[in-house]
A and B are shown apart, each in its own frame.
Chain A
Amino acid sequence: MNFKRAFAVTKRVFKNVKNDKRTLGLMLFAPILVMLVFGVAFSGDISDVNVIIVNNDQGLETPNGTISLSKDIISNLNTTVMTMRYMDNEKSAITLVENGEEYAVIIFPKNFTTNAYSGFNNSQKSSNTYITLKGDDTIPNIKNTIQGDIISGITTTMEDKGVKSSVSLLDEPIYGKDAKFIDFFVPGVMAFAAFLLTTLLTLLTFVSEKTSGTLERLLSTPISESEIVTGYAIAFGIIGTIQAGFLLTIAILIFDIMVIGNVLLAFLVVALLAIVSQALGILLSSLAKKESQAIQFIPFIILPTFLLSGIFWPIQAIPSWIRPFSYLIPPTYAVNAARNVFLKGWGLDKIWPDVMILIIFAAIFLILAVLYLKKRTD
């Protein structure tokens, strides 16, 4: 072994990196990003879940005044986990959950306090001392957290007040009855796969068009920049949809996932995301002169999507200060829309805000991609 020759190779590698400022920047920045995003995303607990309280409990009249166990339980609920507001009309509250504006309704029955205390006085369990939770059970983490928090609120209150009666929590899901984690997971993975594969494929294809000279040859022909981008958009829209089809087939045949809504609508969402992704791929290609540089973008594409777009855990579990970034990532909307179609059976009439945002993303990215090509960078 001649170490002098080995060190010559080592020095050559470092000189290469030093001369390639982009690689140098990515080498330094990528680990910082990985640590920050993982650290931040994993450190969060579920919070800011919008919940409506419908408190029909009339309390219990005593010589010392009216006592209300429901109010005590509510005061013991975790306000970080749940953002609560009050409504009187149960039906209206449920409609808000059905429309996706609120996450759950917690309903206290009329004689809640009376029944709880009478159960205690009669030394028997009262079968109608219950709190009803009507919510969206499609995201298991949120469902479990809310249920856990309500049970903890009940236990604390009962211990504080010395009430030994049993208060039960009735879970009556509006959406996602019997939903498993895989049901929650698959729509997200479909969107993630389409986004990741399409962005990378377009990025590498476009960088290869640049390095091989085909892009230049193409730009010297009558084809316009918008025609090139449109051609790519159609191709990758179709590829994205086919990929989604394969994923869904496997999910249904092997994992028996829950599909309540229109599968074609979910495909439309994924195809739209693929179009957004291909335009993003073209834009990212403007930052890379060769394939080896393009590959370095992979962590920057995967990590934010993986951690922030609600694929593996809900956005409510991401620390609130970093949550706005989730809404800057296109897959967030596709994941949400696909999940709502699959697990809630929503149609275009309800998922249109997500679809609209994806269309806006697509329009912006496509226009920017065309402008980038028109710029004729040297």
Chain B
Amino acid sequence: MDGEDEFAVFTSNLIKKLGNFIAVNNLNLKVKRGEIYGLLGPNGAGKTTTIKLLCNLTKPNGGKGHLLGKKFSDNTIASNIGYMPQETALYDGLTVYQNILFFGEVYGLSSKKIRNRSDELLKFINLEKWRDELVENLSGGMKHRLSLACTLIHEPKLLFLDEPTVGVDPELKMSFWNYFYKLKSMNTTILITTHYMEEAHHCDRVGFMKDGGLITEGSPTELLHQTNTDSLEDAFIKFSLGR
């Protein structure tokens, strides 16, 4: 054992090639249980591919990984993880509630549980009035909120959120983060990708990704201190250029 049990996410020399392009290059990622970990990096750094590997949506070309102490190819962990893709990934032909209901059923929740959870989530994402509206009639921001609700329906222990705040207005963005803190207080682990450096301050730890690998990681304060900068954007540039 290399301490896989201790971490919610543990990868060792993870590699993913897309054609001739190495999207994830010997990635060693360790996310502690109950922490909010931010993967930061420019577009094409390998953040989304990393999440897809961890969610068993694509097969790695090398390396290994564990989620909540089990290999990430183990199907039994699927019920404990929640994945919010970058795209809204909803059924446009279904209503808001029908989407939540469908994903609740897929996770094997009882009807009563789905009803209770959907009431709670609809209130949180502020779509109660739109409950019976077709998704195709919603705005981009509304779809994003619903996408998050579908990810949270089964109260996962480990959350993968791929750019969850893109297209979300500042007020709602704040309520998202408040909700993430609430989930953290319930010992939920969150791995979040973003290219908004200012958002990374909300994370317990952040990892800077470039060319498929981690160039450094630490708490936002540590990273600012190490680079003697005021913003994580400047810190990223310094690390990226080899300080």
On whether the two chains bind one another, the answer is yes
Residues of A within 8 A of B (CB): 212-214, 216-224, 376, 378
Known: A212-B87, A214-B91, A378-B18. A220 touches B59 (CB 8 A): no
- Most chain A CB atoms below 10 A, which of B59, B81, B89: B89
- By the criterion CB–CB under 8 Å, are B90 and A220 in contact? no
Known: A216-B57, A378-B18. A222 touches B85 (CB 8 A): no
Residues of B within 8 A of A (CB): 18, 52, 55-59, 75, 78-79, 81, 83, 85-92, 103, 106-108, 150
Cβ of B171 to closest chain A Cβ, rounded Å:
26
Identify which of A216, A222, A378 contacts B89 (C-beta below 8 A): A216
Contacts of B78 in A (CB 8 A): 220-222
Contacts of A376 in B (CB 8 A): 56-59
Q: Which residue of A has the minimal Cβ distance to B87?
A: A213
Q: Which residue of A has the minimal Cβ distance to B16?
A: A378
- By the criterion CB–CB under 8 Å, are A220 and B55 in contact? yes
Cβ of A374 to closest chain B Cβ, rounded Å:
10
Known: A221-B107, A222-B78. A213 touches B55 (CB 8 A): no
A376-B58, A378-B18 given. 10 additional CB < 8 A pairs? A212-B89, A212-B92, A213-B88, A214-B91, A217-B83, A217-B85, A221-B78, A221-B103, A221-B107, A222-B78
- By the criterion CB–CB under 8 Å, are B57 and A222 in contact? no
Identify which of A212, A216, A222, A378 contacts B79 (C-beta below 8 A): A222
Identify which of B18, B58, B91, B106 contacts A221 (C-beta below 8 A): B106
- By the criterion CB–CB under 8 Å, are B58 and A224 in contact? no
A221–B81 CA distance with the chains assembled, in angstroms: 8
Cβ of B161 to closest chain A Cβ, rounded Å:
12
A213–B57 CA distance with the chains assembled, in angstroms: 11
Contacts of A222 in B (CB 8 A): 75, 78-79, 106-108
A146–B24 CA distance with the chains assembled, in angstroms: 69
- By the criterion CB–CB under 8 Å, are B56 and A220 in contact? yes
Query: Is chain B's interface secondary structure helix, strand, loop, or mixed overall?
Result: loop
Q: Which residue of B has the minimal Cβ distance to A219?
A: B57
Contacts of A218 in B (CB 8 A): 106
Contacts of B58 in A (CB 8 A): 376, 378
Total A-B residue contacts, Cβ distance less than 8 Å: 52
- By the criterion CB–CB under 8 Å, are A224 and B57 in contact? no
A220–B59 CA distance with the chains assembled, in angstroms: 13
Cβ of B114 to closest chain A Cβ, rounded Å:
14
Q: Which residue of B has the minimal Cβ distance to A231?
A: B106
A376–B58 CA distance with the chains assembled, in angstroms: 5
Contacts of B57 in A (CB 8 A): 216, 219-220, 376
Provide 16 A-B residue pairs closer than 8 Å at the C-beta atoms, listed in order of the A residue: A213-B87, A214-B90, A216-B52, A216-B83, A216-B85, A217-B89, A217-B103, A217-B150, A218-B106, A219-B56, A220-B55, A220-B57, A221-B103, A222-B79, A376-B56, A376-B57
Cβ of B109 to closest chain A Cβ, rounded Å:
11
- By the criterion CB–CB under 8 Å, are B75 and A224 in contact? yes
A222–B109 CA distance with the chains assembled, in angstroms: 11
Identify which of B85, B106, B107 contacts A213 (C-beta below 8 A): B85
A214–B57 CA distance with the chains assembled, in angstroms: 12
Known: A212-B89, A212-B92, A378-B58. A220 touches B106 (CB 8 A): no
Q: Which residue of A has the minimal Cβ distance to B83?
A: A220
Q: Which residue of A has the minimal Cβ distance to B147?
A: A217
Identify which of B90, B103, B106 contacts A212 (C-beta below 8 A): B90
Contacts of B91 in A (CB 8 A): 212, 214
A378–B106 CA distance with the chains assembled, in angstroms: 23
Contacts of B87 in A (CB 8 A): 212-213
Contacts of A223 in B (CB 8 A): 106
A218–B89 CA distance with the chains assembled, in angstroms: 9
Q: Which 3 pairs from chain A and chain B are nearest by CB?
A: A213-B89, A213-B87, A220-B83
Q: Which residue of B has the minimal Cβ distance to A214?
A: B89
Contacts of A221 in B (CB 8 A): 78-79, 103, 106-107
Cβ of B163 to closest chain A Cβ, rounded Å:
12
Contacts of B90 in A (CB 8 A): 212, 214
Contacts of A220 in B (CB 8 A): 55-57, 78, 81, 83
A378–B20 CA distance with the chains assembled, in angstroms: 13
A83–B86 CA distance with the chains assembled, in angstroms: 64
Cβ of A372 to closest chain B Cβ, rounded Å:
14
A356–B167 CA distance with the chains assembled, in angstroms: 53
A376–B106 CA distance with the chains assembled, in angstroms: 19
Cβ of B199 to closest chain A Cβ, rounded Å:
22
A213–B163 CA distance with the chains assembled, in angstroms: 14
Cβ of A216 to closest chain B Cβ, rounded Å:
5
Q: Which residue of A has the minimal Cβ distance to B52?
A: A216
A213–B58 CA distance with the chains assembled, in angstroms: 14
Cβ of A289 to closest chain B Cβ, rounded Å:
14
A212–B136 CA distance with the chains assembled, in angstroms: 12
Cβ of A324 to closest chain B Cβ, rounded Å:
38
Cβ of A39 to closest chain B Cβ, rounded Å:
40
Q: Which residue of A has the minimal Cβ distance to B80?
A: A222
Cβ of A357 to closest chain B Cβ, rounded Å:
34
Cβ of A215 to closest chain B Cβ, rounded Å:
9
Cβ of A110 to closest chain B Cβ, rounded Å:
71
Cβ of B227 to closest chain A Cβ, rounded Å:
35
Cβ of B22 to closest chain A Cβ, rounded Å:
13
